A and B are shown apart, each in its own frame.
Chain A
Amino acid sequence: MSTTKKYLVGMFDDDHTLLLAVNAATESGHKIDNVYSPFPLHGINEQLGITKTKIPTAGFIFGLTGMIFAFSLMAFASSVNYPTNFGGKPVFALPAWIPIMFEFTVLFSGVGMVSSFYYLCNLYPGKQPKIIDPRLSDHMFAITIDITEDASKVSEYTDLFKGKGALEVFEKEI
């Protein structure tokens, strides 16, 4: 991942101003690369072409796997591999297994979803992040435009961002 890209960055100090700028940019048909913010913003996913994440589906599949795993383990251990007589209780005791099946469902689903999240976002301990500007985790919001290949529209974007209340517009290579 050593390829560097060049971005045009529009910095805003208010989430609402940023939303208006995002709307204006997409309405005039511009392609926004990304938006960075110190907290989750609502109402920009459509403009950025962000589709709903599939983590819920993954979570369901992981959960189902956990439940089947727990059931199979208990059924195999108690009824097939080594049936033990505990005070005359049945060796196939489904109702008594429900708590553990539930716990495994939650465990697999939770661990699976969190792992999927880190995998999909490509986040891991020790990753060297490509930070556009340190203020973006504080009080600033940014729109980035990829200008690695086509830098012809830089002035047009700059005017657009400035017109929509951007405090700074700069180019950044990372």
Chain B
Amino acid sequence: MSYYESPIREPLVNGNKTYKQITDDIVSGTTGTPSFSWLLATGVSGLIALLGVFCLGYTIAYGIGTWGVNTTVGWAWDITNFVWWIGIGHAGTLISAILLLFRQRWRTAVNRAAEAMTIFAVVCAGLFVLLHTGRPWDVFFIFPYPNTRGPLWTNFNSPLLWDVFAVSTYLTISLLFWYTGLIPDFATIRDRAKVGTWRWKIYNFLSFGWIGAAKHWERWETLSLLLAGLATPLVLSVHTIVSFDFATSVVPGWHTTILPPYFVAGAIFSGFAMVLTLMIVARKIMNLEDYITIAHIESMNKILLLTGTMVGTAYLTELFVAWYSGSMVEQYAFANRAFGPYWWSYWIMMSCNLIFPQFFWVKKLRRNIAFTFFASIIVNIGMWFERFVIIAVSLHRDYLPSSWTSYAPTWVEVGIYVGTGGIFMTLFLLFCRFFPVVSIAEIKHILKTSGSQYRSEQMQQVKDELSYRDVDSRIIYKID
């Protein structure tokens, strides 16, 4: 046992598990014939992904003239979706990195899936960046390399270029962090297969020949901690830089200093909503109720409440600052958001993100799975509208009234957006089927401190000791 945890805390692993049961429970998800529900879900997601691929191809073939964007509203669904997907990715890094640094044990059950979600979300986000350039085959122009055009280098002072480096670094580091965490569990799956079979060979290839030697574990733990230390400022920098794309411009409604913290909080908020949506389904289909417990869902709902309130505070601060600035264009931008032609998107954003999470002050609702699932979808919708409001609604009416216009997406844009949802879900379902969804090694590591049977033993010990009183009323003190 490497750390102490108060016995009054709720157990994180239910069902009196042993080490062997943990292995069997999680490895069993990757063996046997896939269930009908999995096949159906993967088939449907795959079809939606194909629709996305078709619309992607259509855009590449005919150009972004097939979209609803115009000279005034140059960024619309493409960048909205980019920011939305990138934001969703942030929860994975938050769970795996920041909660690791804060020694939050409940992260162990959800970190693997959340990190996978991060990677798939960043892949979807990357597609929009690629496409919005209009000529995706020339996309290598965004990287600085010696060329025959001068050499004409990239503009290192531009936040758009910072974004290129931020997002690509983020994808690389998340992938490495996730994969290094996976190799001991791949070894566990390999060792459950018969030596020499294809299954053994594939998982042995994936596990890099891991054998669980003491020295390797020591390095592995140090590496995880250091990568967490690196990923924490990285994840903050990524969304800060995404917000710089807007904040450093002079468009009214974008040019505000509050944007970086507001975007980071919003990213974590939307990411946790997506983690909840996925995990509530996954724990049911994959029989992981003993590992992803109500206690985990409650913890995530608390973060949803916290970050939702932060985002809400930012919305109100923005309004105040616009009024207080005395700048007419700034004031108009916000009045236009709330009462202009796109008023409905502003009020969807406000009610989903500011008002709805406040229900989570109620413990009963935090621990209600159906309500949490519903709330997580509401937050996902709200956060999509937040980006739409910031991007498209700010652009459609700026300094020059003669350029004012409106914007509506075409079927191609809708198809790409829905399609990325399909790509995301397909990748996630494949992950659920072939990868260990919960970190086997880490769950075993916390079993003796947070497993239900050990927790009740610790509780009994405390009750037996006369020097402690009032255990049941959750007040523990020493009287000697």
Q: Do A and B truly interact? A: yes
Residues of A within 8 A of B (CB): 15-16, 34-45, 48, 50, 52-53, 55-56, 59, 73-74, 77-78, 81-82, 84, 86, 89, 93, 96-97, 99-100, 102-104, 106-107, 109-111, 113-114, 117-118, 120-121, 123-132, 134-139
The one of B173, B204, B221 in contact with A129, judged by C-beta atoms closer than 8 angstroms, is B204
Q: A36-B211, A113-B223, A114-B227 are in contact. Are A50 and B191 (CB under 8 A)?
A: no
Interface status of B237 (Cβ within 8 A of chain A): yes
A40 touches B233 (CB 8 A): no
Interface-centre pick from B150, B157, B215 (highest chain A CB count, 10 A) = B157
Q: Which of B28-36, B180-188, B389-397, B458-466 contacts A (4 or more CB under 8 A)?
A: B180-188
A138 touches B166 (CB 8 A): no
Bound complex: CA A85 to CA B183 (Å): 49
The one of A38, A89, A125, A130 in contact with B205, judged by C-beta atoms closer than 8 angstroms, is A125
A-B contact pairs, 27 of them (CB 8 A): A15-B448, A40-B218, A40-B220, A50-B218, A55-B223, A86-B155, A96-B156, A97-B157, A100-B156, A100-B161, A103-B165, A103-B237, A110-B169, A110-B172, A110-B177, A110-B227, A110-B231, A113-B223, A117-B219, A118-B208, A121-B216, A126-B205, A127-B204, A129-B187, A129-B211, A137-B188, A137-B210
Q: Which of B208-230 contact A (CB under 8 A)?
A: 208-223, 226-227, 230
Residues of B within 8 A of A (CB): 1-2, 18-20, 23, 144, 150-159, 161-162, 165-166, 169, 172-173, 176-177, 180, 183-184, 187-188, 190-192, 204-223, 226-227, 230-231, 233-234, 237, 241, 244, 440-442, 444-445, 448
| Residues on the A chain within 8 Å of B233, using CB | 102, 106
B209 touches A123 (CB 8 A): yes
| Residues on the A chain within 8 Å of B18, using CB | 139
| Residues on the A chain within 8 Å of B215, using CB | 34, 48, 50, 121
Q: Which residue of A lies closest to B188 (CB)?
A: A137
A-B pairs with lowest CB-CB distance, top 6: A127-B209, A139-B19, A134-B191, A77-B153, A129-B209, A123-B208
Interface-centre pick from A43, A118, A129, A135 (highest chain B CB count, 10 A) = A129
A110 touches B230 (CB 8 A): yes
Q: Which residue of B lies closest to A66 (CB)?
A: B169
A38 touches B212 (CB 8 A): yes
Q: A36-B213, A77-B144, A89-B157 are in contact. Are A45 and B218 (CB under 8 A)?
A: yes
CB distance from B265 to the nearest CB of A (A): 19
Bound complex: CA A128 to CA B184 (Å): 15
Q: A35-B213, A89-B157, A126-B205 are in contact. Are A99 and B144 (CB under 8 A)?
A: no
CB distance from A93 to the nearest CB of B (A): 5
CB distance from A13 to the nearest CB of B (A): 8
B219 touches A55 (CB 8 A): yes
Q: A77-B156, A106-B169, A118-B208 are in contact. Are A137 and B187 (CB under 8 A)?
A: yes
| Residues on the B chain within 8 Å of A99, using CB | 159, 162, 165-166, 237, 241, 244
The one of B20, B144, B152, B209 in contact with A138, judged by C-beta atoms closer than 8 angstroms, is B20
Bound complex: CA A60 to CA B392 (Å): 42
Q: Which residue of A lies closest to B216 (CB)?
A: A121
A117 touches B161 (CB 8 A): no
| Residues on the B chain within 8 Å of A132, using CB | 211
| Residues on the B chain within 8 Å of A93, using CB | 156-157
CB distance from A158 to the nearest CB of B (A): 21
A74 touches B222 (CB 8 A): no
